[in-house]
Amino acid sequence: MASNFTSAPCLAAITAITLAVSAPAPAGECSRKDALGTSRILTVDASSSPRVGLKSFPQTLPLEDREVVLTFDDGPWPGTTPKVLAALAHECVRATFFLIGRLASERPDMVRAIAARGHTVAHHTWAHPNLKYLKPEAAIGEIDRGIAAVETALRGAASTTPSTPFFRFPYFEMTPAALDNLQRRGIVVFGADLWAGDWNPMTPAQQLNLLTERLQISRKGIILLHDPKAQTAAMLPAFLRYLRDNRYRVVHVVWSGGRTVPDKAH
């Protein structure tokens, strides 16, 4: 679940996009009648779902049989995130992106592109360290610096109060102190229910087979993928077709206090 870093252009004006991400279109809106689509929007908040994902916690999101939530970690990454966004757009699917603050600060245009297409922008620290091995104050500082960087890229102003209070720990390594801090602040901690382990080298076909085999067993859940991985970007169109052909439904998670609006071009 590691990341690469690169340089990027300076932060541009974002007033128009900030205004455009205030309210959603209907979940099922899609110009392609044969597309997978997004079946429904699920609102989430820390009062009812403070920690979700069965790989880490006792509970997960209230999903029905054959419902999945697509999540992507470690972006944005210029070589692959646009391909992931294109695949999602082709099938009219919305996902959640847990962004690394350092990369967001280097590619604010990509952060805004993710939000403008209706996806949920969430948080994944500043530089992806293992917070379990940091002192408590350093761990919270790493979380807050990442949140502030993403908020700056998205809305033009740094804040440690996230617009969408969703967070995922790097490597799923967490401490009671960090968990308590996030819960006091109303920030939902996301784990996952299944993954293909795309941080390991494999071909897109191998990744697709592994992911679909695990989904056949679990039948639903929060799926973890990584948009900086070339194999994931290459695999994603086939996986979305698999979901469509096997009657799975994609659920888009948003914070109960606010939603995003998709790009009307989709």
What sign for the dihedral angle of Cα 150, 29, 231, 80? Answer: negative
Q: Is-catalytic flag, 226?
A: yes
Catalytic-labelled residue, pool 124, 226, 252, 266: 226
Peptide bond into 58 cis (omega under 30): no
Task: Give the start-end residues of each E strand in the chain.
Answer: 38-44, 51-52, 67-73, 96-99, 120-123, 166-167, 188-190, 194-195, 221-226, 249-255
Share of the chain residues as helix, strand and coil, in percent rounded to the nearest 5: 35, 15, 45
Pick the closest to residue 143 from 185, 194, 111 (CA basis). Answer: 185
Q: Is-catalytic flag, 73?
A: yes
Phi (first) and psi of residue 71, to 5 degrees:
-130, 145
CB 79: neighbour CB atoms within 10 A?
11
Mind telling me the catalytic residues? 73, 226
